[in-house]
Amino acid sequence: MKTALDEAAGDGTAAIVHLAEVAPPGTLAEPDPVQRARAFAEPLLAGQPLDTGEDALGHADGTAAVLRGIGAAPTLCAAAYLVYAGDYLQRPEDVVRKAFGESYASLVALTRKLVQIQRAARAAQVGVAERAGQTERVRKMLLAFSRDLRVVLLRLASRLQTLRWYAATKRPCPRELATESLQVFAPLANRLGIWQIKWEMEDLSFRFLQPDEYLRMARLVDEKRAERERSVVAARVELATLLAAADIGADVQGRPKHLYSIWKKMQGKNLAFARVFDARALRVVVADVPACYAALARVHEAWKPVDGEFDDYIARPKPNGYQSLHTVVLGVDGRPIEVQIRTRQMHEHAEHGVAAHWMYKEAGVRGYAGVSAAGDFEDRVAQARLAVLRELLAWERDFSGAQADAGAASGPGAPAQQVAASDRIYVFTPQATIIDLPVGGTPVDFAYALHTDLGHRCRGAHVDGAMVPLNTALKSGQTVEVVAAKEGGPSLDWLNAELGYLASPRARAKVRAWFNAQAEKQTIARGREAVEKLLQREGRTAMERDALAAQLGFDSADALFEVVGKDEYSLRHIENLLRPPEAAPAEPGIALHKSKAEAGGGRGGVLVVGIDSLLTTLARCCRPAPPDAIGGFVTRGRGVAVHRRDCSNFRHMAEVSPDRVIEVGWGTAERDRTSVYPLDVLIEAADRPGLLRDISEVFAREKMNVTGAHTESARDRSTAWMTLTVEAPDVARLAQVLAQIARVAGVRHVRRK
């Protein structure tokens, strides 16, 4: 026979039937939500241990009790049972949706996901150096799930119940859990103004993390407890009598003091225990704001105030909305005592925080926690919701130390979605380390976040155990495992934004860097091959490549190979270095002997500024012709070599030997129409029979002489490349002929070199 737990753990139908059986007749439509949820969860949770060792049903009872203690609505208390019951259902969201509605299903789904993430994060084996980063990511995840504040309140209550259980059972609390409670959950409760949870969580975490200091503080407090309690009672009676005599209705209470807050104040201000003024404290709750100030006046009349110890948080509320009057006075025994004065509404806000107002909606017009929701109901709900979201973002800035201003997004009229916007997701490695990614992050982004080399070799990914495409957008809480090749690199498709492989700019930059490095390697290899061939021709293969590069002004051989591979550096420089200058043949070219004196009647000459009858030659590397901007370089034994100004060789020589650069220009007189200049033409075309003949016919028809030709074809004979040297009177004339060459069948590109 199946047990109730076995049946409920199936598809959930049995659990719903059980719920109908335990509900009183006629009450299933609107039963007490807490009783109904507990009846649903009891057969599932009874006897089941949590990962901390707690009994699951006992933990749910304790969590619901904490929520009731801060004034949470019954529906939220009921959710405490459903969240943990979901661990024992196959389809928890569907079952809860059928039994309790969509709101509960959404809450259960979000909270269970966050619980699973936190469990995995605590289980992660991280080093001391990584622990701070892991805590930071847990905080960010909690913030990411806070769009539904009920999730945050459930997690706060659940964590406090766990700490209470460790204290009650006297079991050692894991240091990671206590640290996370003190560094993440307590500051969050503080920002939301839920003092009851904040103070108790701080004291319990303090007890587990620093037991010796905790015991020392406890002894300091206990040594004077009886005396202090008597003085507090006497002061409370005296103050109540004083206010009653002034016709001020007030509830006067002795305020409990917490060990961690005393210890923290002593440490922060380097105070002795006797100098902690608020170790004895009274709280006065009155009807309205005028009564607060009237009560303050009576307190200062009866007792002497301590200078510098008055704060008016009514006129200047704290950022989270906290309001109260704080003063420190000297009692009848001459010792300090703190007095807090506030209205009933301020008191409820101080105890339950801005989170209380979030649940006006659930409380209805009857209100809750003593605050009526009548009147401008929807507006107040919206403003309370914005106040909570602002506090969450303020907590984010406090924790991370960020200095950025919230700007317009946190203004009074900002929509809740805008204030709570988050642009990060949080996923896990198989070892439960948290990795944060931008929204839309993919397994490829995840791989690059772990290690650049792993990203390059990424070929697949498992998400929660299932293989997914690499451009799948990940969601918070998923566990991702990368499938990587032993070697290889990224795909160019990853850089295509439309395909959606990468959402992280950092990962995209790493992919681009890989392809740039590959292109650089190919360029260096091409340059190395060209230099090696030259050295073989010159019979200098034994020459050190780095030494050769250094003589040419490069930092390394690879730097030389790179510029040669890019065609930015002529091999002629290396030839000139390897060959003795006196043995070097005169650079071929069209020698123009026009001097400045002859320029007036010269034809086709080059004018060397300030020098007469100087030999000039046109450089073959760039083939200058009128009206190119030109410059001269004084060679050894060959006069002035004339280059185009944009020639890479000329620029390099000018950098190495700027003193040998000389100004030159084309002659101003009308050039002889028979003067011609050798110009190189580059042609790319579809290879076919008769291609060279057709191109040569164009040059012949235009009366241009072709003095040199070099052709090369692809292996598959699909493309031909040609380099032709032709004689033209000037660049403009060549451009006209190239326009006709471009119209030859098969020619794809034609240009002057």
Q: Which residues of 357-386 are buried (b: 16+ CB within 10 A; e: fewer)?
A: bbbbebbeeeebbebebeeeeeebbeebbb
Q: Residue 7 has what pLDDT? A: 37
| Contact (CB, 8 A) for 466 and 448 | no
Q: What is the pLDDT of residue 340?
A: 92
Grade residue 407 by pLDDT with cuts at 50, 70 and 90: very low
Mean pLDDT on 100-106:
81
Say how far residue 135 (Cα) sits from the centre of its chain.
16
What CA–CA distance (Å, rounded) separates 358 from 361?
Answer: 7
Q: How far is residue 75's CA from residue 363's CA, in Å, rounded to a whole number?
A: 9
Supply 494's token pair.
């990853």
The helix or strand, by DSSP H or E, that contains position 708, with its residue range, turns out to be strand 706-713
DSSP secondary structure string for all residues of 566-597: TT-S-HHHHHHHHS-GGGSPPPPS--B---TT
Tell whether the torsion through CA atoms of 521, 522, 525 and 526 is positive or negative: negative
Please tell me the predicted confidence (pLDDT) of residue 410.
35
What's the pLDDT tens digit per position in 37-74?
Answer: 899 889 888 888 888 889 989 999 999 999 888 777 78
**Average pLDDT of span 156-168:** 92
**Contact by Cβ (8 Å): 276, 306:** no
Sign of CA dihedral 607, 609, 611, 612: positive
What is the CATH code of the structural domain delimited by 220-352? Answer: 3.30.460.10
Which residues on neighbouring strands pair with residue 665, listed in sequence order?
Answer: 607
In sequence order, what are the residues at sequence separation of 6 or more whose Cβ sits closer than 8 angstroms to the Cβ of residue 315? Answer: none
What tokens were used for 669?
Answer: 């007189």
d(CA 364, CA 733): 90
Q: What pLDDT is recorded for position 470?
A: 92
639 contacts 617 by C-beta, under 8 angstroms: yes
Mean pLDDT of 150-177: 88
What pLDDT score does 320 carry?
64
Q: What does the pLDDT read at residue 442?
A: 93
Give me 292's structure tokens.
Answer: 């607060």
Q: Which CATH number fits domain 4-194: 1.10.3720.10, 3.40.1180.10, 3.30.465.10, 1.10.3210.10?
A: 1.10.3210.10
* Max avg pLDDT among 222-226, 365-369, 550-554: 550-554
Which of the two residues, 280 and 660, has the higher pLDDT score? 660
Q: Is the pLDDT of residue 445 over 70?
A: yes
Average pLDDT, the chain: 75
Among the residue ranges 126-140, 149-163, 669-683, 687-701, the one predicted with the least confidence is 126-140
What does the domain layout of the chain look like in residue ranges? 4-194, 220-352, 424-503, 515-579, 580-673, 677-752
Q: What is the pLDDT of residue 182?
A: 85
What pLDDT does 591 receive? 34
- Which of 19-28, 257-266, 418-427, 641-650 shows the lowest mean pLDDT across its residues? 19-28
Can you spell out the DSSP letters for 203-230? HHHHHHH-HHHHHHHHHHHHHTHHHHHH
Assigned superfamily of 677-752? ACT domain (3.30.70.260)
Predicted confidence at residue 488, as pLDDT, reads 86
Q: How confident is the model at residue 181 (pLDDT cuts 50, 70, 90)?
A: confident
Confidence class of residue 321 from pLDDT cuts 50, 70 and 90? confident
For the ranges 286-300, 363-377, 678-692, the lowest mean pLDDT is seen at 363-377
Per-residue tokens: 95: 């079952």
Q: How confident is the model at residue 265 (pLDDT cuts 50, 70, 90)?
A: low
pLDDT band at 447 (very low <50, low <70, confident <90, very high): very high
Q: Which helix (H) or strand (E) holds 97?
A: helix 92-100
How much is the pLDDT for 293?
94
pTM: 0.47
> What percentage of the chain has pLDDT greater than the value 70?
72
- Say if strands 616-618 and 640-644 run parallel, antiparallel, or are unpaired: parallel
Report helix, strand or coil for 442: coil
Local confidence band at 455 (pLDDT 50, 70, 90 cut-offs): very high
The yes or no reply on domain 424-503 and CATH 3.10.20.30 is yes
Separation of alpha carbons 551 and 540, rounded Å: 15
